[in-house]
Copies of this chain bind each other. A is one copy, B any other.
Amino acid sequence: MTDQPVRVTAMDVARLAGVSQSAVSRVFTPGAPVSRRMAEKVRAAAEQLGYRPNVLARAVITGRSRMIGLVVAHLENQFYPVAIEHLSRALQARGYHILVFLAGTDSGRTAEVVQELLDYQVDGIVFASVALTSDIASRCESAGIPVVLFNRGQEGEAHAEVTSDNLEGGRIVARFLLAGGHRRIAHVAGWQGSSTGRDRAEGFRRGLAEAGQEPLAVIDGFYDRDEAARAAHRLMDRPDPPDAIFVGNDYMAFGVMDALRFERGLRVPEDVSVVGFDDVPLAAWPAYDLTTIRQPVEAMVDATVDVLIRQIEEGAREAVRLRLPAPLVLRGSARSRRNGPDPTCP
């Protein structure tokens, strides 16, 4: 039968319990000096009135909002929803909550978004799949807000970053494809404006170079499905089409496979091998059964949270760079010595 949405404040609780407002505040502040009797009285009164501290008012005083800003793009790539899910749970477990902002690919939009985040006094920011230009970086810097880059590197060295070992991942793919007997290996790369895309491509090149080989071609796929599919067609239109394609992430790899199989009638891996990067859940579905490099999402998220919280709560300002190992996951989209038909005896 409550009619008015009446806010119950610490003062109301104090009056009911017959104590001061500061006492109420202390009861709800872990580590503050309160006697058992006091705590019981106050909690009883609070319970009765349905009181809960106003987080925002608290934030104004303490300067900590217990909110973390998340700037993310590419939600169409299953990797990020999965990451968000873990991130949210991990932060919630530590008493933090996520304010989400979507970024486009243009950094102008990102700058606005960061400004709005700062307006909300977030305690820290996670940039997922978003490049950080130096002016945005310095904006966060001067606001004194810890920043962690998730799945992206940066231009300078200002901030902490958590990625998998993209360089090594690329090399592993190169070695694997060579070992599988492939000789004309192309790469539909992740956006070359992103460190992740560049590192994977670079690692791939080095892996081939170590065997005295080089890529048949490298085409930027811009993390876009259609773009990747077009790239696949361009590759197959060549007089010397590839016998294997390494794609910069799974999301694009699905587009490449679809183009190869349904638009060109090719078989994967019999005609062309395809390897991806990420190991999103979809990659394990039999419709794709994609051989890929696994990014350890959970570990990456846990590391991100650890670094961020340490910076917030201990004021640590070390710009750590974590590179978690990214192993190859063997599935059916690429011939290997073990599972595939040996290309030398058809």
- Could you tell me which A residues sit within 8 Å of B by CB distance? 2, 4-5, 7, 52-57, 59-60, 63, 65, 67, 75-76, 78, 80-82, 84-85, 88-89, 92, 97-102, 115-116, 118-121, 142-145, 254, 257-258, 261-263, 281-282, 285-288
Contacts and interface: CB of A to CB of B under 8 A. Distances in A.
A88 to B, nearest CB: 5
A258 B287 contact: yes
Contacts of A63: 7
Given A119-B55, A254-B287, A88 B76 contact: no
Contact of A287 (B101, B281, B287): B287
A118 B99 CA distance: 15
Contacts of A282: 282
Contact of A101 (B59, B92, B120, B262): B92
A94 B121 CA distance: 20
B76 A81 contact: yes
10 contacts: A5-B144, A55-B119, A56-B56, A56-B121, A75-B82, A76-B85, A81-B81, A98-B100, A258-B286, A262-B287
B116 A101 contact: no
B75 A5 contact: no
A278 to B, nearest CB: 15
A56 B52 contact: no
Given A78-B78, A78-B81, 20 more contacts: A52-B118, A52-B119, A55-B120, A55-B121, A76-B78, A76-B85, A80-B81, A88-B100, A88-B101, A88-B102, A92-B102, A97-B99, A97-B116, A97-B120, A98-B99, A99-B100, A254-B287, A257-B287, A258-B285, A287-B287
